[in-house]
Amino acid sequence: MQSALVSRLGLGLFAAAAPVLAFAKPAMGEMEKQPLNLHAIAMFFIFVLLTLGITYWAASRTKSTSDFYTAGGGITGFQNGLAIAGDYMSAATLLGLTAMMYMQGVDAYIYMIAFFVGWPIILFLMAERLRNLGKFTFADITSYRLNQGKVRTMAAVSSLVVVCFYLVAQMVGAGQLIKLLFGLDYTIALFVVGALMMVYVTFGGMVATTWVQIIKACMLLIGGTTVMLLGFSQFGFSFEELTNRAMEVHKLGTKLLAPGSLLADPVTAISLGLGLMFGTAGLPHILMRFFTVTDAKEARKSVLYASGIVAYFFNVIALMGLCAILIVGTNPQFFEGGEIGGKVIGGGNMIAMHLAQAVGGNLLLGFLSAVAFATILAVVAGLALAGASAISHDIYSRVIMKGKASEKTELKVSKFATIGLGIVAIFLGMAFEKMNVAFMVALAFGVAASANFPVLIMSMYWKDLTTRGALAGGYIGLFSAVTFVVLSKSVWVDVLGFASPIFPYTQPALFSMPLAFLATIVVSLLDKSAEAQNEREAFGDQYVRAQTGVGAATAASH
């Protein structure tokens, strides 16, 4: 039961943190294979053996589709909060945000806040209703009183787009990190991550995924806090002394604590903020997490715990980045050729690892390396589970079989879908090895904020929503977000090689999300069909259940 919850949470967290990886990604291409890190390998094997033991235990408890998708709805609010936080605090967060703080200063903190502000929306507007209305996926809610086949298909397609782009970004990051930290070949690293993910999800389902996330979250909190405290202690735990000395040596000088170095264009900054904020509330792997708790009260608790843990960790990361400016940035041993200010050994993403080595030696470096690897495994498992549920529960069971598929068959389809997604992820990781993943991450958040969030929030709160309106909003949000990203500099110039972008901004949410809302509202209001009238009348029943949870327990057990 508990593993199901973790798995879903894991998916959502990576989704939220992936954009950080996008900004840190260019440095990844500079990574060279390093000598074997024996401490990291030893700790990595301990973690893998521990998680395989959990998977073996979880497999004996995963008998039904409810167990596989949602850990039987038996996860507590605290466990779920820790698992959600584990998903959110990915390797991209640890490595990418530390590097961004080291290079860009306070703009990285603005970025962290943009990640964080999606949680109050989920807490106050969505968590309780998600738990009361849903069963396994967020498509259960969007299609609650609408045409099941059409709306589920639309929701499943947008979910798979989000999952695939996050999965690719994660796999590319995994291959590059492992090549650096363990001295393994990139392709072998992809197969290791893919194979372990398939084992976790196929055999242990949400129970195994959840507990892997919880263990990883605890390891990440311990590792990050230890590095931060050891670094911060060198400045007498004085934030004033740390920042003053950092401004003296950093290339930005006093602008280190002034905004504008990363998000100079206000339109891009607003669009990025909207995408990260509402994208978090539209990520299928995060939304899945709320079906793993026992009731709506525990769903609210899990968001509260996750918010506190994530907020704490982001501040740890910010302090690590500032400490690294002085501890790593002024130490020639961390630069190629011993030239301070030159190319960082291993690329910019390794700032956190170099800081760990500087303050805690090879043992702390090994522990943090193993944590980074564990994070990747857990997040990829969560993404795979969200993708598998969209294929088996929404498309196969509800659309193709029209709800007549047996639990045993649906479970089998889920496991085949997981294996299929794992294979696809490995090959996509190989195909995109040299490519900047920024556009994939922007696309994932843009799609989540533009295709998933508008239809989901309107289905919960607006009685006039109709099937035609939901389809119009969902598909227009999906295609406009994809189109804007393709026509932006991230793809049009950097990938396709054209001289200048057609769409001037790199973040689509400010433009594609209003289009989705507008299409949903206009088409719904113009729909005067008998079917639409019935859908409006059915809102009363949905509203009562969303508020009270009457019938939710029964639905979750079927």
Task: Provide the number of structural domains found in the chain.
Answer: 1
The count of other CB atoms within 10 Å of the CB of residue 404 is 9
pLDDT band for position 552 (cuts 50, 70, 90)? low
**One-letter amino acid of 175:** G
DSSP structure class, residue 401: S
Which residue shows structure tokens 């900054």? 269
Let me know if residue 17 belongs to a domain: yes
Window from 135-139, 241-245, 266-270, 358-362 with minimum mean pLDDT: 135-139
Which residue from 444, 395, 440, 447 is spatially nearest to 416, judged by alpha carbons?
A: 395
- Rounded (to 5) percent helix, strand, coil in the chain: 80, 0, 20
DSSP tally for the chain: helices H, then strands E: 26, 0
Let me know if residue 240 belongs to a domain: yes
pLDDT the model gives residue 70: 77
Q: What pTM did the predictor assign?
A: 0.83
Asked if residue 62 has pLDDT above 80, the reply is no
Asked if residue 322 has pLDDT above 80, the reply is yes
pLDDT the model gives residue 131: 83
Each residue's pLDDT tens digit, 19-45 = 444 434 434 444 444 556 677 778 878
**Residue 186's domain spans which residues?**
2-436
Q: Are 192 and 179 in contact (CB under 8 A)?
A: no
User: In whole angstroms, what is the distance from residue 201 CA to residue 288 CA?
Assistant: 15
Q: Are 382 and 213 in contact (CB under 8 A)?
A: yes
Each residue's pLDDT tens digit, 269-279 = 888 888 888 98
What is the 3-state secondary structure of 500-512?
CCCCCCCCCHHHH
Which tokens sit at 355?
A: 């800081």
Please report which residue ranges of 390-406 form alpha helices under DSSP H: none
Let me know if residue 391 belongs to a domain: yes
Let me know if residue 129 belongs to a domain: yes
Asked if residue 290 has pLDDT above 50, the reply is yes
Which residue from 453, 383, 445 is spatially nearest to 418, judged by alpha carbons?
A: 383
Query: CATH no. for residue 20?
Result: 1.20.1730.10
Let me know if residue 309 belongs to a domain: yes
Let me know if residue 163 belongs to a domain: yes
pLDDT the model gives residue 35: 58
What is the 3-state secondary structure of 488-500?
CHHHHHCCCCCCC
Question: 182 in helix, strand or coil?
Answer: helix
Beta strand ranges found along 438-502 (DSSP E): none
Let me know if residue 212 belongs to a domain: yes
| 381 contacts: CB under 8 Å, gap ≥ 6 | 7, 10, 197, 200, 201, 208, 209, 212
Let me know if residue 100 belongs to a domain: yes
User: In whole angstroms, what is the distance from residue 401 CA to residue 416 CA?
Assistant: 17
